[in-house]
Structure 1
Amino acid sequence: MTDLLMSRRGFLAGASTLLAMTAAGCTTTTQTTREQANLPPPVPADVVMMYAALPQERFPVPAVDLRYLDAKYYRKRVPYQTTEKPGTVVVDTPNFYLYHVEEGGMAMRYGCGLGRAGFEWAGRGHIAYSREWPIWTPPSEMIDRQPELEQWRNGQPPGLDNPLGARALYIHEGNRDTIYRIHGTGETWTIGQAVSSGCVRLLHHDVIHLAENVKFGSPLVVLESTPAFTPTPQLV
């Protein structure tokens, strides 16, 4: 009788433990499923490679933290219907895209950051030239607004901390420098945002790619309602 009672108690204890483990297992599975449902979709391997570290650069560029880049702003070749001739650079300000027009109704599309309120610009010009790892010199008006920039009055040396980044493409209108640039940035979260002082910023990887493929003298069109450039203090 005693043996039977012990066996019954052992069975009940084992059953209780099993029930607890089963319940715990269900809870864990549900939690894991919920966490997985909240994860961003996996980044394609080709995108990871496209934005991998660039150790060969004069100032080695780290890999892009793709957690902070919306997938719609990945560099991509896309169909693009336009009357602009191949080689033209088109900045689509409402959608935060820059297109480099190609043959056959295609274009290379880049996500970009643009000028914040009060620094927007639009119109036509051309890419006069580009510079690798340029020096940045803030204009006096900008230094007046941001006194901490006084240290760079005669120019900030190139590097990852320089606002122009890995490359700068200089925008002219006729023979006049508009003081606007297409330049690099390592601030991934600013792509798709209006944050700069009027310039177009691309990720370092993307501005390097654009600079390697654009020809000097190529037309540039900034799509906006404003009919012409309205120059404001340079850059960032």
Structure 2
Amino acid sequence: MNWKPFFVAATLGLSAALAGCSSDGSLRLFTSEYGAVTDAGYRLPSVPISQIPRKYHRQIVSYETKEKPGTIIVDTKEKYLYFVMDDGKAMRYGIGVGREGFEWSGVARVAMKREWPTWTPPAPMIRRQPELAKWRGGMPPGLSNPLGARALYLFDRGGDTGYRLHGTPEWQSIGRAVSSGCIRLLNQDIIDLYNRAEIGAKVIVR
């Protein structure tokens, strides 16, 4: 038996595995990191990640941009958020975006970061959903809080845009247009992004 083809194939396979590159362009996939997490006394449940399309799992991808590392770029059409890294790479997260009538685009900055934030529904939302009036003074942090485990507050030249990058307990909403304009990530993903993003980071929403 000629073993040479076997060893060549095995070597190529091992090289691909070590590089961590998949056929769809992902350089590294973090599918295994959606298990239950204890954070600040809260027990975040595991995400049934097998029920979320693979393209929305956190992963490092090749990404060419003129924006500097640390910039956050939101692609509302494809439902991706990119955190720009060095060497033509980015950390990509699956997101949920604003539903029809609540879409927005523009450039902002991360002005504040909060762990387990309080959620205060804006007045227009309370008018649309009067049952939210009980949270006019703020909904305490917790597993059912719509902002999830972390929130990054977006400001522009006019001040607070009212929009946030935040976590969500509603994993089914990732990859869909369902929010009132905010960009939502899985709680395990917003914790990862929170730890990477700095105050003052540029955020581009397309």
The TM-score normalised by the length of structure 2 is 0.83
Aligned 8 A contact 1:68 1:188 in 2? no
Amino acid at match of 1:172: F
Which structure shows the higher strand fraction?
2
Match of 1:31 in 2: none
Amino acid at match of 1:153: R
Q: Which runs of 5+ in 2 are unaligned?
A: 1-28
Identity, % of aligned pairs?
52
Cα deviation digits, residues 190-219 of structure 1 (max 9, x gap)? 100000000000000000000001111010
Match of 1:157 in 2: 140
Match of 2:9 in 1: none
Q: Which runs of 4+ in 1 moved over 6 A?
A: none
Match of 1:72 in 2: 55
Partner residue of 1:200 out of 175, 183, 203: 183
Cα deviation digits, residues 31-60 of structure 1 (max 9, x gap)? xxxxxxxxxxxxxxx745311110244321
Following superposition, the deviation at residue 175 of structure 1 comes to 5.8
Q: Which runs of 5+ in 1 are unaligned?
A: 1-45, 224-236
| Residue aligned with 2:77, SS | helix
Match of 2:201 in 1: 218
Output the CA distance in 2 between the equivalents of 1:166 and 1:177: 20
Following superposition, the deviation at residue 140 of structure 1 comes to 1.6
Cα deviation digits, residues 141-193 of structure 1 (max 9, x gap)? 11111011011011100001111000000001036010000000121111000
Which structure shows the higher helix fraction?
1
The TM-score normalised by the length of structure 1 is 0.73
Partner residue of 1:146 out of 120, 129, 147: 129
Output the CA distance in 2 between the equivalents of 1:61 and 1:106: 29
| Residue aligned with 1:151, SS | helix
Following superposition, the deviation at residue 94 of structure 1 comes to 0.9
Amino acid at match of 1:170: Y
* 2:172 matches 1:189: yes
Rg larger in 1 or in 2? 1
